[in-house]
Chains A and B, each alone.
Chain A
Amino acid sequence: MPLDTSTYSLALLRVDGRRWNELRRLHAQIRTQAAADGSSYLEMGHTKVMCVVTGPSEPGPRRGGGIGGGAGGQSKDAEVVVNIVIAGFSSVDRKRRGRGDKRTQEMQSTVANALAASLHTHLFPHSQINVSLHVLSQDGSLLAALINAATLACVDAGIPMTDYVAACTAGSTSTYAANDESADPLLDLNHQEEQELPSLTVATLGDSDRVVVLVCESRVQISRLEGMLAVGVDGCKQVRELLDRVVREKGQRMILEGTVEKGTGLNDLD
Chain B
Amino acid sequence: MASTTRPTLLPGDEIPSSLIPSHPTKPLRLGPGLRHLPPSQILPTVSGQLITLPQKSSMWIEYNSSRYIPTQSDLVIGTILRSGPDFYYVLLSPFTPPATLPHLAFEGATKKTRPQLNPGSLVYARVTLANKHMDPEVECVSATTGKADGLGPLTNGGMVFDVSLGFARRLLMAKSKEEGKIEVLELLGGEEGKLSFETAVGRNGKVWIGSEDIKTVVIVGRALKETDEKKLGVEAQRKLVRKLIKEMK
**Do any CB atoms of chain A lie under 8 A from CB atoms of chain B in the complex?**
yes
A98 close to chain B: CB less than 8 A? no
Which B residues lie within 8 Å of A73 (CB)? 82, 118-120
Residue of B nearest to A69 (CB): B82
A74 close to chain B: CB less than 8 A? yes
B218 close to chain A: CB less than 8 A? no
B176 close to chain A: CB less than 8 A? no
A67, B81: Cα distance in complex, Å: 10
A68 close to chain B: CB less than 8 A? yes
Which A residues lie within 8 Å of B89 (CB)? 68
A17 close to chain B: CB less than 8 A? no
A71 close to chain B: CB less than 8 A? yes
Write the nearest CB–CB distance from B52 to chain A, whole angstroms: 43
B211 close to chain A: CB less than 8 A? no
Residue of A nearest to B89 (CB): A68
Within 8 A of B (CB), among A51-82: 67-71, 73-74
Number of interface residues of B (CB under 8 A): 8
B142 close to chain A: CB less than 8 A? no
B128 close to chain A: CB less than 8 A? no
B 87-117 to A, binary, CB cutoff 8 A, 1 in contact else 0: 0010000000010000000000000000000
A8, B83: Cα distance in complex, Å: 66
Within 8 A of B (CB), among A128-170: none
Write the nearest CB–CB distance from A72 to chain B, whole angstroms: 9
Number of A-B contacts (CB under 8 A): 17
A70, B119: Cα distance in complex, Å: 9
Which B residues lie within 8 Å of A69 (CB)? 82
Which A residues lie within 8 Å of B118 (CB)? 73
Residue of A nearest to B97 (CB): A67
Residue of A nearest to B118 (CB): A73
A 66-108 to B, binary, CB cutoff 8 A, 1 in contact else 0: 0111110110000000000000000000000000000000000
A120, B190: Cα distance in complex, Å: 49
Which A residues lie within 8 Å of B81 (CB)? 67, 71
Which A residues lie within 8 Å of B119 (CB)? 70-71, 73-74
Which B residues lie within 8 Å of A70 (CB)? 82-83, 119
Which A residues lie within 8 Å of B120 (CB)? 73-74
Write the nearest CB–CB distance from A229 to chain B, whole angstroms: 35
Which A residues lie within 8 Å of B83 (CB)? 70
A146, B98: Cα distance in complex, Å: 43
Residue of B nearest to A68 (CB): B82
A70, B120: Cα distance in complex, Å: 12
A73, B120: Cα distance in complex, Å: 9
Write the nearest CB–CB distance from A59 to chain B, whole angstroms: 16
Residue of A nearest to B81 (CB): A71
A230, B98: Cα distance in complex, Å: 52
Residue of A nearest to B83 (CB): A70
Write the nearest CB–CB distance from B225 to chain A, whole angstroms: 25
Which B residues lie within 8 Å of A74 (CB)? 119-120
Write the nearest CB–CB distance from A136 to chain B, whole angstroms: 44
Write the nearest CB–CB distance from B84 to chain A, whole angstroms: 8
A68, B100: Cα distance in complex, Å: 14
A68, B98: Cα distance in complex, Å: 12
Write the nearest CB–CB distance from B245 to chain A, whole angstroms: 36
Write the nearest CB–CB distance from A104 to chain B, whole angstroms: 31
Write the nearest CB–CB distance from A74 to chain B, whole angstroms: 5
Write the nearest CB–CB distance from B81 to chain A, whole angstroms: 6
A 35-57 to B, binary, CB cutoff 8 A, 1 in contact else 0: 00000000000000000000000
A209, B183: Cα distance in complex, Å: 53
A207, B114: Cα distance in complex, Å: 49
Which B residues lie within 8 Å of A67 (CB)? 81, 98
A69, B120: Cα distance in complex, Å: 15
A 215-248 to B, binary, CB cutoff 8 A, 1 in contact else 0: 0000000000000000000000000000000000
Candidate in B81, B118, B120 with the most chain A CB atoms within 10 angstroms: B81
A189, B119: Cα distance in complex, Å: 48
Which B residues lie within 8 Å of A71 (CB)? 81-82, 119
A133, B87: Cα distance in complex, Å: 44
A194, B81: Cα distance in complex, Å: 48
A62, B120: Cα distance in complex, Å: 20
* Residues of A bordering B, CB below 8 Å: 67-71, 73-74
Additional 15 contacts, C-beta under 8 A, given A69-B82, A70-B83: A67-B81, A67-B98, A68-B82, A68-B89, A70-B82, A70-B119, A71-B81, A71-B82, A71-B119, A73-B82, A73-B118, A73-B119, A73-B120, A74-B119, A74-B120
The 6 A-B pairs with the shortest beta carbon distances in the complex, nearest first, are A70-B82, A73-B119, A74-B120, A71-B82, A74-B119, A71-B81
Mind listing 17 A-B residue pairs with CB under 8 Å? A67-B81, A67-B98, A68-B82, A68-B89, A69-B82, A70-B82, A70-B83, A70-B119, A71-B81, A71-B82, A71-B119, A73-B82, A73-B118, A73-B119, A73-B120, A74-B119, A74-B120
